[in-house]
């Protein structure tokens, strides 16, 4: 019994360690990339309120439940070419393994990027795609309506904040 508990503890700590290393790697890469961004040449349009979150079904990364949001976001990004490079952040609801949710949320961010490029947005507009897994939840209750709010991808301005906290 003692050996099983020890193995479980080691396995759990290994997963937590991997997650922390991944998160640290994202933070370092983001900070390095932010310093390499060109300075804006005047006031650029703001992402705030102009782009919408895209929501996903449970355990799915390649289909959104609100497809018009993709079209509207693509239209706004194409109409505002002077807007700063975008950071697409994917999220997952709190159900599931930590590592699985990190991968799922990253795939959601990648899917949104691919769909926006497919709709005519220049790929160079996207400086970053990040998966935060179950971090930064917009709702902390345990029911489907709340979980749906957490299965999302957001588009933000990476120069306004290093981390995007749920609003």
At 150, list the tokens. 């957490």
- Beta-carbon-side half-sphere exposure of residue 103 (alpha carbons within 13 Å): 7
The more confident residue out of 109 and 60 is 109
CATH entry, 53-167, from 3.30.1330.60, 3.30.300.30, 3.30.499.10, 3.20.20.140:
3.30.1330.60
Q: Residue 35: which pLDDT band, with cuts at 50, 70 and 90?
A: very low
- Residues 6+ away with beta carbon under 8 Å from 93: 58, 101, 134, 137, 146, 147, 148, 150, 151
pLDDT digits (tens, 9 = 90+) for 67-84: 999 999 999 989 988 777
Please answer whether residues 16 and 22 qualify as being in contact, where contact means their C-beta atoms are separated by less than 8 angstroms.
no
pLDDT digits (tens, 9 = 90+) for 113-164: 999 999 999 888 888 888 887 777 776 777 777 787 788 888 887 766 555 4
Domain range annotation of the chain: 53-167
pLDDT digits (tens, 9 = 90+) for 37-55: 343 333 334 566 678 888 9
- Beta-carbon-side half-sphere exposure of residue 56 (alpha carbons within 13 Å): 26
SS3 call for 156: strand
């Amino acid at each position: 019994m003692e050996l099983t508990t020890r193995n479980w503890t080691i396995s759990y700590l290994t997963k937590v360690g991997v997650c922390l290393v991944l998160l640290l790697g994202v933070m370092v890469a983001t900070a390095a990339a932010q310093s390499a961004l060109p300075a804006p040449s005047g006031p650029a349009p703001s992402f705030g309120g102009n782009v919408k979150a895209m929501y996903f079904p449970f355990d799915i990364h390649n289909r959104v439940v609100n497809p018009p949001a993709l079209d509207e976001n693509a239209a706004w990004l194409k109409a505002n070419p002077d807007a700063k490079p975008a950071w697409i952040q994917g999220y997952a609801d709190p159900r599931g393994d930590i590592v699985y949710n990190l991968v799922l949320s990253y795939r959601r961010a990648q899917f949104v990027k691919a769909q926006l490029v497919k709709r005519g947005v220049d790929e160079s507009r996207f400086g970053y795609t990040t998966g935060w897994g179950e971090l930064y939840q917009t709702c902390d209750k345990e029911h489907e309506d709340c979980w749906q709010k957490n299965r999302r991808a957001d588009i933000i301005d990476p120069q306004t904040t290093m981390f995007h906290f749920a609003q």
